[in-house]
Structure formats: structure tokens, C-alpha cells
Structure 1
Amino acid sequence: MSTASTALPVVVIGSGIAGLTTALALAPHHIVLVTKARLGEQTSSAWAQGGIAAAMGADDSVELHLNDTLAAGDGLVDEQAASFILSRAADAVSWLEAQGASFDRQADGTLSLGLEAAHCRRRIVHASGDASGASIVNALIRQVLQTPSITVLEGAEAERLLVTEGRVCGLSLNVAGSSRTVLSSAVVLATGGIGGLYEATTNPIGNFGQGIALAARAGAALADLEFVQFHPTALASPRTPLALISEAVRGEGAALLNERGERFMADVPGAELASRDVVARAISAEIGRGGRVFLDARSTLGHRFAKRFPSIAALCQEAGIDPARDAIPVRPAVHYHMGGVATDLAGRTSVGGLWAVGEVAATGLHGANRLASNSLLEATVMGLSAARDIASAFLPSPPAYLEAPEPRCGISPDAALRALTTRSLGVLRNEAGLTQAVNQFRPLALTHGSDAAIVALAIGAFALERRESRGAHARTDFPQSAKPPVRQRMTLSEIIERTRALENAPLARSA
């Protein structure tokens, strides 16, 4: 297939805060913004209740924010990456305001700063109360629609990255059931997380790690995939996906109680505001013994709940719960993935022509456990950083020829895969369960070409290699943390090789 274009666009895949920021910051370069849903829909960014962590209070500093991030990350935070991102928080907030985002302020005009778990200061910048993500996303969308250099391609699903001579030069899309090839000078992955691999998640169920699969097939290095953060307090209801009860509710004094009315977190350091992995494991233990867990804000917020958390109050009302009168039933659910495509501080992956920003990327900021509200900060800072890098990079001319992309096959997870992922790659893990999962994911990934199975296989392989408990990765057979802490990094070919000995059936074909 020959080509003859000289001015190729930068393709950004994803319309959450990371993707929208990257696209806007690259203007006036020609951008094609690819989104499988309508612009800004089915993105975790728009569902974010908490806000942006930024050390902007009079009693706060970047150093204090860094200390909290290092503590939450349980020994695996890349301190250089964390310092880079956290020190740019004020600039990120200012940039978002310049794009039209309106952050909540006090009567004197200063930012209204909230408190969340494992933060030593009030430093969460909110927009529209507990609808921060939606408010910011909507502001960015308005800017995108007014930017002539950005072409929005809705209803388009990225299937494969096109690679020639070791460099990404475009991608294959499925648009309304038809294949379409788009050549590019650069591709930016901003595809979000992996919650759709699990039965219980607070993420859009269509997000199951597509960006990781795209990058893995292209040969990019992956990092930290074993670290899956379970939000401790999703609303326990039949809703799919589960509604999130922000930990800002606990920041306002709400207590966790079991069905006996016992405050089971009272003697744990940090209590209800301990790091998410600690709270999630404690709640899982209560549920595992056959109990139930409730978040009780009746005495601390009472009738003020609906004013302070209007979106959460509406979600509770939908489930027949009045937080002013009722304790809220909660359970852990997949909320955020600390791992992803390995990048540097310009968003560059190990494959030329490919950048990754937001939740799909692994910068090292989060380590083994993300500190609350650091994610929207990272999405904004790294979107801006990647845009600067791409704008200044040498982008080669299009290739003369391209190989035909692999055919689309079995991309999405089915109920059986979700059940296996939930059972084997959940809050608590062990070697037997991980081995069983890898043995079942492997043929689906290699023989059937399932993108979802590739991501699940990779998470399982990383989890098997980490023979310790650290942060969001808890092994019942290795309950202690090993020393020294080491980040893991593997390509898909290395994952396949390391899991080869675990495969029960003969390898059907190589990847």
C-alpha cells in the first residue's frame, strides 16, 4: 500500500483529560482525536469525583506532597518522576483555568482545598464539588470544538498500531464496522485503564486496557502491571459499573462500620483515611467472613451531605439510600491501574513514534499504590509534557510502503474472562490462582488473538513474578514485602517467554 502525503497528523487516542490536554496543547499542529464513544463519554476522567492534588495551600509544599506520594507508593515511586509532576501542579491548574475550567473557591477568592486519604494537608482542588472530572472534561471539550486544527473522529476504535522499521507510523481503525487506516507523524495513547476486565469496577466497562494491548503488540515495554488499585468504597448495588463513593466523604469524617456497628478501622494507623490498599483489604476481610460494610456519614454530614456531595447523593438516591438517614453499603471495586506502558517524563515509550499519557502510561509517579487525586494531575502535566516533546521532535516523512495490519479478532472481554480475572487477579492473590489464570489467558491471547486476554495475561505474569506483598499487590502466600523494592518492566515477547513453562497445552503459535 503506497502513500504520498507529506504533512501527517498527530493521532491522539482517547478523550479523557490526558487526551484532550495533549490535543489542545499541540495546536496549531494538525491533530486527529480518536474516540470510540462520543467526545468525553466513557472516560474515567469525567467520572472523577475527587479533583486534582496540588500543593497550593499556605501550609503546604511540594515536598510534603512528595512525602505523601512516596509513602502511598510503598517503595516503588520513581522520585524523579514524582518531583517532576508534583512540582508542576500549580501550572497545571492555571493551564486548566485558562482553558475554561472553573475551580471551587472560598469567599475570599482562594481555592477551596479538600482532604483525601493519605494526604497530610488539604490540597485537593475541586470543580463543581464532587463533579470535578466532568466539569474539567466539559471545559476542555468546549476548547477542542473551537480549535480548527483538531479533527474529532467519534465512534472509532483503534485496532492495531502500524509499525515500520521499528517506528509507529499510523494505526488501523474500525469505524462503524469498516476498517480504516490513518497514517501519522506520531501516535499518543490516552486510552485509560483496565476496569472492564473485572466484574466489579467504577470505570467505564468498555475500558479494559486497549492501549496496553496496542502498545504491547507494537513491542513497547510495559511496567508495574501487577498494581491494580481497588477503591475501597464503591456503592454496593446491582448497578454496572458500580458507583463510586469518593474518599472525600471519609475526609469529611464518615466512618466505616460492619454489620455489627463496629468501627473496624479505628485502630489502624490513619483509620478510615489510611491508604487505599489498606482500607480495601480491611473491607475485603469483613466481606470475606460473610459480613457487610457501610460508610456512615449520618453524624458528621447528615442533611449537609447532599449539598457537599450532590452527585454522590444522587447515586445513593438511585439505589434507594438517603445518606442523611442511612449508612451507605460499600465494597471494593477496581478503580485505577498504576501500571501501563512504560514512559519517560516526555511521555515517550520504548517504540519510536509512540507516546502514552494518563492512566494507560506508567511514569513511576504512583509506585505500588496511587495517592488519591494524583491521577488527574498526572494526566494534565504529562499531556502538556508530551505535547511539548512532540512539537519539538523530528517527525519523519511517511513510509513508502506499509504492511497490512493484523486482522481484528476477539478484542473485548467476555463474562468468563471477567470472572477469571476477578477471581485470580483481585484484592488477594496467590500462586495457584495466578498460575491457573495465566494458563487460561495464554491460549486466548496467542491462539485467539484476544486483546483483553493479552492484558490479563500480562497482569498475571507481572503478579506471578512479584513474590511479595506491596501496595495494591497482595499475595497471601508472600505476605511480607521483599527488599530492595524493584519495579518490573517487560515486553509482550518477554511475558510470553516467562509464562511458557506454565502452559499446560503445547504452544499453538508464537506471538
Structure 2
Amino acid sequence: MIMNRIRHDGVLIVGAGLAGLSAALEAARAGASVLAVTPEPLLSGCSSAWAQGGIAAALTVQDSAELHAADTAAAGAGLVDADAALRLTQAGRATVQWLTSLGAPFDRDGRGGFAVSLEAAHSVARVARVGGDGAGRAILSAVAAAVRAQPLVEVWEDGSLKGLLKDPTGRVVGAAVTRDGRLVEVTARAVVLATGGAGGLFAATTTPAALKGEGMALAYEAGAEILDPEFVQFHPTAMDVGLDPAPLATEALRGEGARLVDGEGRLLLGEAEDADLQPRDVVARAVHRARIEGRGAFLDARRAVGREFPQAFPAVFAACMRSGLDPRVSPIPVMAACHYHMGGIAADADGRTAAPGLFAVGECAATGVHGANRLASNSLLEAAAFGRRAGMAAARETGGEVPLPARIGPELSSADLQALREAMTLHVGVERTRAGLERLLSLIARIETRAPGAPVLSAASLIAQGALAREESRGGHYRADFPDADVEARHTRMQVAHPVRVLEAAE
């Protein structure tokens, strides 16, 4: 039962990671009143704060926006929107400078320029870092401080999204959220979803377990198009130490020369110096295969980093030591775990979706810049650069009519959620098959009888249905029963008005 309705004459932003807060600052700078709603205190419960590697941008004379865009397209396996990628990479330097102006303490080289590191599938070093492996939290801390100082931005740090409000014309005009156990309708001129990814749908994940794709599910129900939901990136070096979520051993370790080995010390990907810096899907499958074959998978940084570990990678070092591992003397056991959702709510560079009044930014959005496989450290760049654009665009919206009541779906029981997470990792994880995907969809249907209309189930179903429809292997999507890529790269598009999944040729 709706206990209250609040009219917010401005922009409503759901989510307070880097994308949401960047949107908030720019909407406020454009003169709009902003209400940002997040279920946990700022810096908590969002993937942005957990990012280790840094932010990719062309910051050196050896680099360019065009080269960065080319690397992005190559990693995306034929499904990257070239215009969107170039728009993103052209904003790279300005975005890093904007974050610096807010107080983000990027590492500097001896000449005072930005210190940059090499990560997988980048042709040159271009990842700006903070304190070795602390980029996400440091950047987000600076942006959060700016948000708290902005008088036009109000933040609810105890609000959970439960539904979207639409008016009789079909325009999204607000959201239903819970606060202190009460359901509240908030109407607004525009709604920006910055709800993060779907890692919490998987038993093995490096992201906050609370992020379960509900934003994508609710946007789908509201009429937005869902693009390529089957493309999930699995990070090859999640630490296999029995924790949920799994701590991450940043890719920058391999950029510094750490190598992946099996239990006998044999290299997993070959002798070449850059063998471990192939695209993440390739490396993740090698790690996955070594583990299921019983050989084990480990990241050996003893020679590459060694005694410098505490200073060079303090976050990884601390996580290792908490788990009883000393990476200076022992290889780190690793596994492939859900790390990033390339697919999601189809949106342009300004965050606009197919549902009028609704914007999407950050990991919940699919803007075309990641394609089938995200290039390392492009996510923070996209969150800030496109988040800012979305904030400016949303500030210009004028709103709609009086909303219809929102439909509120149920929550899953803890037992059903755990069963779903385990089945997602097993059947729509690193390797997929028709038989496994059909078993997963059958499980979702059974749980649906106990929790009809649950957004979590809708999100899981979108991913599984996309994976079942794509009978090829491409980027982060690997079908063991269809191991080759089709000659033509095609998108998966899903929308309530067009329930049949159709693979459409990429532009």
C-alpha cells in the first residue's frame, strides 16, 4: 500500500555510484533540483568504489582518442558502436581533468603528468591509477564530497527502488522506493537509473551482492529496450578464498608482469610475455578450464611485484593477508567470477532510453561502447563521462502527467535467491550450453510460481534468454555447443512490445 507521495520538481537519480553522482552534479550545474536515492551510505554498495585498476584515457603523447577507440572496438568483438566509442574516448582527458578538479588524487609521474599503466587489450599504457589499486574509492570519494557540497542535490541514503511510475501516455514520471519500511512514490521531471550491474545474480562475483539487475528488469517492464543482456564479463583473477563477494586481484598485476599458472607452476596461456594480457574472455576461459580440469589456477606475482606488494597494490595485499595469504611468497588462488555486465538498458550517449522520461547510465546501461567484451578500465570513464551528459540532458526534461500506480514485485526468499545464484554461475557463467540454459530457465519458472513478477527473476531471465538465443560464441558469451563466432556480428534486442528475441545485424 502506498503510504506517501512526494513531488520532486527536478531530476530523480536512482543509484549513487560514479555514474549517478556525476549525473547529479551536472544536472545541478544546469540548474535542476536533484534527488539521488541509494539504499546504502555513499561509497557503499556500488561497484565504482571497488574498482582497482583505474580510468582509461588517452593522456600521453603516444596515445590518442582514435587509438583508444580502436582498442575499445577490437575488444568488443564486432558489436561496439564506433560513434559512441569515439565520443567516449574523446572525452577521456577532459573527464580525468574534471575528476582531478574535484580532488581525485591520481598518481603522477616524475614530470608531474598522469602516471599510466598497461592493462589487457590496450595497445599502449593509458590507465590512470590512484595509489596503485585504489582508484575507484578515491575517485568516488572526491565526487561524493562535491555532491554533499552542492545545495541543489539532496541524497537519500536509505532508499531502495521498487518500481517505476508511468503516466497514462506511457512516460516514466517517477519511482516507488522504500524508506524505513514504508513505500513512497516520488514523481519527477526525469528519472535517471544508475542502478549498477547484475553481479549479485551470480554465486561467484566480484561486485556487491546487492546489485541484482533490478533496474534493468524495471526498465524493461516500463518499455525500455534491453540490448545484448547475455554479454557478461567474467574477471579471470577473482581471489578464490571462499568469500562472497570474491576479492579482486586487479588486472594491473598482470600488466606489471604477474603470470597465471596452474598448481604445478605451468603457464596457463603460454610463454609469450603478453600472453596473460589477452582480452578478459580468453583469459577467463583459460582459468575456468584449468580449475574444472583439477589443475587449479593461480596468479604468481612473486617475481613481478614481490617485496613491493604492500606499497604497489595495497588493496590486493590487504585482501590477501586477511585471507591468510602472503602474495610476496605464495601465488594467489584465482577463479573467473562475474565482474561486469556489458548488456543492459539500451541508451544513447546522453542516457536516453526508448521509454520517454527514463535515462540510464553506468553499468545498468548499454550505450554501445562495450559491445561483447568491455575493454579494461573503460567502465569508470563511461560512468563519469556519459553520466555527466545524462545529467545535463535530464535537467532539460519537462515531466509528464499524474502517474498511474506502480506495480511492486515480490522479493525472493533467501533459499530461492541462493539457488538462483548458484544456477546462474553454473549455467550462464563462463561456459554455456543449450541444455544448461534450459535447466536455468526451468528453475526460474519454478521460482516464479512462488514469487510472481519478482524483478530479480526478470533480470536473470533476460540474461538467460539472450544467451539461449545467441547460438555462437562472441566476447564474454561462450557457447560450448556453438564455439565459433558467426561471420556477421548481430545484436540481441528485447522489449516488452516485441517479446520475440531477434538478433539484428550490428551497424
Give the TM-score range, shorter chain.
over 0.9
Residue of structure 2 equivalent to 1:22: 23
SS in 2 for 1:475: coil
Residue of structure 2 equivalent to 1:286: 290
Residues 375 and 498 of structure 1, relative CA distance in 2, 3 Å threshold: closer
Residue of structure 2 equivalent to 1:12: 13
Matches within 5 A, 1:36-185: 36-164=39-167, 165-185=169-189
1:35 to 38, 48, 52: 38
Displacement of 1:152 in angstroms is 0.6
Cα separation, 1, equivalents of 2:224 and 2:248: 32
The range that moved more, 430-439 or 329-338, is 430-439
SS in 2 for 1:216: helix
The range that moved more, 363-372 or 435-444, is 435-444
Residues 76 and 277 of structure 1, relative CA distance in 2, 3 Å threshold: same
Residues 459 and 387 of structure 1, relative CA distance in 2, 3 Å threshold: same
* Residues 328-354 of structure 1, C-alpha deviations (whole Å, 9 max, x = no match): 111111000000000012110000100
1:202 to 192, 206, 223: 206
Displacement of 1:266 in angstroms is 1.4
Displacement of 1:191 in angstroms is 0.7
Cα separation, 2, equivalents of 1:154 and 1:345: 27
Residue of structure 1 equivalent to 2:435: 432
Residues 15 and 472 of structure 1, relative CA distance in 2, 3 Å threshold: same
Q: Does 1:264 align with 2:268?
A: yes
Matches within 5 A, 1:204-219: 204-219=208-223
Residues 91 and 122 of structure 1, relative CA distance in 2, 3 Å threshold: same
Residue of structure 1 equivalent to 2:380: 376
The range that moved more, 214-223 or 401-410, is 401-410
SS in 2 for 1:370: coil
Contact 2:8–2:35 (CA under 8 A) maintained in structure 1: no
Residue of structure 2 equivalent to 1:505: none
Cα separation, 2, equivalents of 1:498 and 1:264: 37
Residue of structure 1 equivalent to 2:474: 470
Cα separation, 1, equivalents of 2:193 and 2:206: 21
Cα separation, 2, equivalents of 1:460 and 1:493: 19
Question: What is the RMSD computed on CA atoms of the aligned residues?
Answer: 1.9
Contact 1:411–1:451 (CA under 8 A) maintained in structure 2: no
Cα separation, 1, equivalents of 2:165 and 2:273: 50
Residue of structure 2 equivalent to 1:241: 245
Q: Does 1:415 align with 2:415?
A: no
2:347 to 329, 343, 347: 343
Structure 1: runs of 5+ lacking an equivalent: 500-511
The range that moved more, 56-65 or 366-375, is 56-65
Contact 2:8–2:186 (CA under 8 A) maintained in structure 1: no
Residue of structure 2 equivalent to 1:190: 194
Displacement of 1:443 in angstroms is 5.4
Contact 2:409–2:455 (CA under 8 A) maintained in structure 1: no
SS in 2 for 1:134: helix
Equivalent residue letter for 1:307: Q
SS in 2 for 1:102: coil
Residue of structure 1 equivalent to 2:304: 300
Cα separation, 2, equivalents of 1:18 and 1:411: 28
Displacement of 1:411 in angstroms is 5.6
2:328 to 324, 328, 339: 324
SS in 2 for 1:63: helix
How many residue pairs match? The answer is: 494
Contact 1:339–1:362 (CA under 8 A) maintained in structure 2: yes
Displacement of 1:390 in angstroms is 2.0
Residue of structure 1 equivalent to 2:404: 403
Q: Does 1:486 align with 2:490?
A: yes
Contact 1:222–1:342 (CA under 8 A) maintained in structure 2: yes
Equivalent residue letter for 1:112: A
Structure 2: runs of 5+ lacking an equivalent: 503-507
* Residues 80-118 of structure 1, C-alpha deviations (whole Å, 9 max, x = no match): 110111111011111111222121101220110011111
Q: Percent identity?
A: 43
SS in 1 for 2:186: strand
Residue of structure 2 equivalent to 1:507: none
Cα separation, 1, equivalents of 2:96 and 2:234: 27
Contact 1:221–1:491 (CA under 8 A) maintained in structure 2: yes
Displacement of 1:140 in angstroms is 0.9
Contact 2:432–2:478 (CA under 8 A) maintained in structure 1: yes
Residue of structure 1 equivalent to 2:505: none
Contact 1:346–1:385 (CA under 8 A) maintained in structure 2: yes
Displacement of 1:442 in angstroms is 3.7
Displacement of 1:5 in angstroms is 8.9
Structure 2 length normalisation: TM-score? 0.94
Residues 268 and 288 of structure 1, relative CA distance in 2, 3 Å threshold: farther
Contact 1:75–1:368 (CA under 8 A) maintained in structure 2: yes
Equivalent residue letter for 1:449: G
Structure 1 length normalisation: TM-score? 0.93
Displacement of 1:355 in angstroms is 0.3
Residues 251 and 25 of structure 1, relative CA distance in 2, 3 Å threshold: same
Equivalent residue letter for 2:144: I
Residues 411 and 380 of structure 1, relative CA distance in 2, 3 Å threshold: farther
Displacement of 1:407 in angstroms is 3.2
* Residues 181-210 of structure 1, C-alpha deviations (whole Å, 9 max, x = no match): 101000000011100001010000000112
Contact 2:309–2:327 (CA under 8 A) maintained in structure 1: yes
SS in 2 for 1:335: strand
Displacement of 1:268 in angstroms is 7.1
Residues 306 and 169 of structure 1, relative CA distance in 2, 3 Å threshold: same
Equivalent residue letter for 1:202: T
Cα separation, 1, equivalents of 2:53 and 2:417: 31
